[in-house]
Structure 1
Amino acid sequence: MNIINFVQYFPDEESCEVYLKSYREKAGIRYKTCKSITKHYWFSTGKFFECSCCRRRSSLKSGTVMERSKLSLHVWMTAFMLMAATKKGFSCLEFQRQLGLCRYDTAFRLMHKIRVVMGKRDALYTLTDMVEMDEAYIGIATDKKVKENLKRGKGSQRKASVAVSAESIPLEDLETGKTSRFCGYYKMEVLGKVDGEHAEKFIKKNTSGEIVLFTDKNTAYEHIEDIVETHFTVISGKESTNDTLQWVHKAISNLKRKLLGINHMITYKYLQNYLNEFVYKLNRRYFGDRLFDRLIIAGIYPYVQ
């Protein structure tokens, strides 16, 4: 959804309430006591649902990422639109300006709440068939005490290790015989340490079925034959970048460019949230105007399994 359409569809708070009510009714209202979709009544005066069985009441925000938030629905809808409007996203300061929020902290927490539900939604999907995997090292902000203990020059910046994987499906042109690779879903996750234990945990969590895994010759991947069908290793270099591990390397390059250009002073605590946003948009790179609607669904039911 572009900005012009958003202004037409959501001019005020009432329009946002009607939109959210219709979406929640379409998916079904869930109550904690009934633990299932039941018949309900809508009270327009109080703007809440009531279960016909347990008589439990539920507001429009209950059970969503907006629960317990004092911000209006119009602000939340505008925030969803901004988060879905561009591929690269906004800095938190620009996000604050666009929403007209008084406090930077409010904008910061709002953005990260949306990034968390992005990660929850992507966690529902796993990688299959042929998968590329590599690790990236992202520079993160450090406090003054840590900076004083770090040496100058090489290695002076603290870095966090990130596991990056992508579905890489080989394709062949029947007329010319040329082969290429089609890129599917991506996964990115902060690793505590690049070793065999963490690598195996990442693979088990984010893949399913019998997969063929492509990696470099990092020692962390030496003993993963038991959890994958086939494991191919290549020497890191120009050939592997342009061929075997092309999609993960492109993703790593774009990720670093995005973080350096827009998001500054990223801390280790929130790094995974930034990865969630990047991967969520990357996996939906062909959605176009539908990205806003998909993000609304993720925000309304962030815990749907």
Structure 2
Amino acid sequence: MSANYNLFYFFKQFPDEEACREYFEKRRWGNTPVCPHCGNAQKVYRYKNRRTFKCAHCKRQFSVRTGTIYENSNIPLQKWFLTYYLIALSKKGISSIELAKIIGTTQKSAYYLLQKVRYMFEHRSSENQLRGTVEVDETYIGGRKRGKRGRGSENKTPVFGVVQRGGRLSIMPVENTKRKTLEPIIYKRIKSGSHIMSDEWWAYTKLDKNYKHSVVKHKSKEYVRGNVYTNTIEGAWSHLKRLIMGTYHRPSKKHLSKYCAEFQFNYNTRNDSLKAKFNKIIDKNQIRVSYRKITDI
């Protein structure tokens, strides 16, 4: 299905701001508006303009944007929705320059819009533990020096990842790849008793206490031993690096976690339909994202 074909149906479903608002109301509340201030759903009045509500309990006004990523944003919902659609459609990501041309904003506005979406991905991701057979590995992003673990790392940021075979991926930048840094993440992200696959990096040597642990010996040029390999996570690293080099170039260390969160979302929804992926983005929208949060001032 071509991009133009999909975009045609996007504008057919969301021809104007009113259609976007009605769709988001349905996704957020169903048929019963809920006051975001006090949680009351028993008695809520809708004003004649159709956009504004008033809660009979706390007497405060609100709209479907209140308490969401859209609050205090001057960007129309239609442009937000089109951005989600383009993210769901693209396997290689979308740059702020390209997005600005498509939705008709400045590059700066498009950049902050994308950063808000990435922040949302980062802070509204699943906390469910991975289980079964899980591969763990780390890589380095950024910098001009090439090398193995630690070599040239003064210019690079370590990124740690865990992936359930046939399932979800979880990645995040880390301060270093020492045992005291990686083990707490593993315990949090992977269910006890799972079968962990790793290489021989020393930070993984004590996982046998809580997990079944198999090691593939890369230093001995062993990459697959029956069911023991880390090819899944290494394949994810390859895609991540091509995405960053080809679309985002060199994101700063400060913002790398947001780009990792976007890649993680796209990886975990890779088998979803376009509509399902779009709705998953919409359903994450109940988070307020201030300018300060995406710039770390």
Normalised by the size of structure 1, how large is the TM-score? Answer: 0.82
Per-residue CA distance 1:156-184 (angstroms, 9 max, x = gap): 9711111111112xxxxxxxxxxxxxx21
1:164-215 Cα offsets, whole Å, 9 max, x none, are: 11112xxxxxxxxxxxxxx211110111110011111211222234222111
Partner in structure 2 of residue 172 of structure 1: none
Between Structure 1 and Structure 2, which shows a larger proportion of strand residues?
Answer: 1
Question: Unmatched 5+ residue regions in structure 1?
Answer: 142-146, 148-153, 169-182
Distance 1:29 1:220, change over 3 A: farther
Give the fraction of aligned pairs with identical amino acids, expressed as a percent: 28
Please show how residues 1-305 of structure 1 align to structure 2 within 5 Å.
2-26=6-30, 29-31=33-35, 33-35=37-39, 37-45=41-49, 47-102=51-106, 104-140=107-143, 155=152, 158-168=155-165, 183-226=166-209, 228-236=210-218, 237=221, 239-240=223-224, 244-289=229-274, 290-300=276-286
Q: Is the 8 A contact 1:121 1:302 kept in 2?
A: no
Is there any run of 5+ residues in structure 2 with no aligned partner, and where? 146-150, 290-297
Report the CA distance between 1:235 and its aligned residue.
0.9
Larger mean Cα displacement after TM superposition, 110-119 or 45-54: 45-54
1:263 & 1:12 partners in 2: Cα distance?
Answer: 30
Stretch deviating more after TM superposition (197-206 or 47-56): 47-56
Aligned pairs, how many?
276
Deviation (angstroms), 1:282: 0.8
TM-score by length of 2: 0.84
Following the alignment from structure 1 to structure 2, what is the Cα–Cα distance between the partners of residues 136 and 57?
A: 48
Q: Distance in 1 between the 2:36 and 2:11 partners?
A: 35
Report the 3-state secondary structure (helix = DSSP H, G, I; strand = E; otherwise coil) of the residue aligned with 1:137. strand
After TM superposition, give the deviation of residue 22 of structure 1 in Å: 2.1
In structure 2, how many angstroms separate the alpha carbons of the residues matched to 1:298 and 1:23?
Answer: 11
State which drifts further: 235-244 or 248-257: 235-244
> Is the Cα contact below 8 Å between 2:47 and 2:53 reproduced in 1?
yes
Taking only aligned residues, the RMSD between alpha carbons, in angstroms, comes to 2.6
- Following TM superposition, by how much is the alpha carbon of 1:132 offset from its aligned partner in structure 2, in angstroms? 0.5
State the alpha-carbon separation in 2 of the partners of residues 294 and 33 from structure 1: 24
